[in-house]
Amino acid sequence: MNSDRILEPTPEHVERCARHLREGGLVGMPTETVYGLAADACDQEAVRRIYRAKSRPAGNPLIVHVARAEQARSFCEQWDDRCQQLADAFWPGPLTLVLKRSALASDSITAGQSTVAVRSPAHDVARALIEAADRALVAPSANQSGHVSSTTAAHVITEFPELEFPVLDGGMCALGIESTVLDLTGDHPIVLRPGAVTARALRNVLPDLEVPVIGEQGASPGTAPRHYAPHTPTELVTGGEIQDRLAGCSAPITVLSIGPRRVGVPHASVEMPDDPDAYARKLYAGLREADESDGSLILIESPPWTDGLWRAINDRLQRACAPPVSS
Ligand code: AMP
Ligand code: MG
């Protein structure tokens, strides 16, 4: 897709986007996880614009993105040795810390809670933008609320065709899956959202880490059962079930398969890698490709693995397939 809203991340374009942010505008920002929709974290009107653009429920708080740990500290009342150790070990990188908030973190970004989420992204363009804007940025994933996340600049335009904010093109996201959200406000550290930093990596710093069963986190606002979902009805099935499902259906089905799979007319397949890093990187692009195909149903081949990064991948796949909540 070609769009004059997509900007190469030259110093001039980064400066132009930084000015736009200082004036209360929104910018599509590449990060190493997924693309974010960025705004000045201390400009409440700009933050409201994010919620409107995404149709994001008001109870779903935002992550504050910073260039340095000192900038994160100003949004938190709580910053102890453990936070510093985690920042030293994992920042810049895909780890979000939930901490008791300071007065700088307004209700508009915390959804009225007494906690705030902070992270320092590792992508050079995100870091350059935060530095040039000279302020912390809130940056939820750049997609319509509940829909598939964006891992290219073109995806961001697809999600927001009517809006005019610019998108800095940082290429395809290197990790492709959201940050791990870690709550440090209770007696024990607890993973609220599995993500690109695995539990095993965190346990090097946090031996008493708690990782709830997928689907039972509940505690993190915004981790709704249905999320990351294509528009097309989507089901998670085992590899062994796929052939029967295809044979019994005359309407076209698109299979998100692990490795190559022959599906036969009128069906189609999108091939996903069996390596977790490569699978995560392609996850949202694969879901989008399946959604855009002719299939009236998407069958996702359930990865048979559960450890390491597969945990975060399975969390996203299960939510992508959860039934819509009827209102
Ligand atoms: P996204 O909108 O994809 O960037 O995801 C942001 C997620 O971070 C939210 O949906 C929450 O799950 C989590 N989060 C942000 N702020 C907080 C907070 N104060 N407490 C708990 N979780 C949070
Ligand atoms: Mg999101």
The reply to whether ligand 1 has any atom less than 6 angstroms from the CB of 110 is: yes
The reply to whether ligand 1 has any atom less than 6 angstroms from the CB of 146 is: no
CA distance 158 to 93: 26
Output 160-166 pairs: Cβ under 8 A, ≥24 positions apart.
Answer: 160/28, 160/37, 160/53, 163/26, 163/53, 164/5, 165/5, 165/20, 165/25, 165/26, 165/27, 165/28, 165/37, 165/53, 166/5, 166/6, 166/7, 166/13, 166/16, 166/17, 166/20, 166/27, 166/28
- Output the pLDDT for position 248: 86
User: For residue 196, which of 85, 64, 95 has the smallest C-alpha distance?
Assistant: 95
Read off the pLDDT of each residue in 86-108 and give the average, rounded to a whole number: 97
- Output the pLDDT for position 2: 53
pLDDT digits (tens, 9 = 90+) for 115-139: 999 999 999 999 999 999 999 999 9
pLDDT at 318 over 80: yes
> Hey, which of 63, 143, 197 would you mutate to test ligand 1's pocket, going by the most ligand atoms within 8 Å of its Cβ?
63
CA 254 to chain centre: 24
Q: Is residue 299 a contact partner of residue 320, using CB atoms and an 8 Å limit?
A: no
The reply to whether ligand 1 has any atom less than 6 angstroms from the CB of 117 is: yes
Structure tokens at 48: 């409201």
Q: Is residue 7 a contact partner of residue 169, using CB atoms and an 8 Å limit?
A: yes
The reply to whether ligand 1 has any atom less than 6 angstroms from the CB of 182 is: no
Read off the pLDDT of each residue in 63-90 and give the average, rounded to a whole number: 96
Q: Give 252 Cα–ligand 1 centroid separation in angstroms.
A: 36
Q: Give 179 Cα–ligand 1 centroid separation in angstroms.
A: 10
- Report the share of the chain in percent with pLDDT over 70: 96
Q: What mean pLDDT value characterizes the chain?
A: 94
Structure tokens at 274: 């069996």
User: Which range (112-116, 234-238, 321-325) has the least confidence?
Assistant: 321-325
Q: Is residue 117 a contact partner of residue 61, using CB atoms and an 8 Å limit?
A: yes
- Output the pLDDT for position 327: 45
pLDDT at 247 over 80: yes
Read off the pLDDT of each residue in 321-325 and give the average, rounded to a whole number: 84
CA 187 to chain centre: 27
pLDDT at 219 over 60: no
Give the closest ligand to the alpha carbon of residue 147: 2
Taking the domains of the chain in order of start, what are their residue ranges?
A: 3-203, 234-320
Return the CATH superfamily for domain 234-320.
Threonylcarbamoyl-AMP synthase, C-terminal domain (3.40.50.11030)
pTM, full prediction: 0.95
User: Which residue's entry shows tokens 């998100």?
Assistant: 256
CA distance 159 to 149: 9
Q: Could you tell me the fold of the domain covering 3-203?
A: DHBP synthase (3.90.870)
- Output the pLDDT for position 215: 57
Read off the pLDDT of each residue in 39-59 and give the average, rounded to a whole number: 97
pLDDT at 193 over 50: yes
Alpha-carbon torsion 294, 296, 301, 302, what sign?
positive
Structure tokens at 215: 């689907």
CA distance 320 to 146: 9
Three-state DSSP class for 257? Answer: strand
DSSP strands (E only) in the chain: 6-7, 27-29, 36-40, 63-65, 95-100, 115-119, 137-138, 167-168, 180-183, 190-193, 234-237, 253-258, 268-272, 297-301
pLDDT digits (tens, 9 = 90+) for 278-291: 999 999 999 999 99
Question: Can you tell me which atom of ligand 1 is nearest the CA of 96?
Answer: 8
State the pLDDT confidence band at 225, using cuts at 50, 70 and 90. confident
Q: Give 116 Cα–ligand 1 centroid separation in angstroms.
A: 9
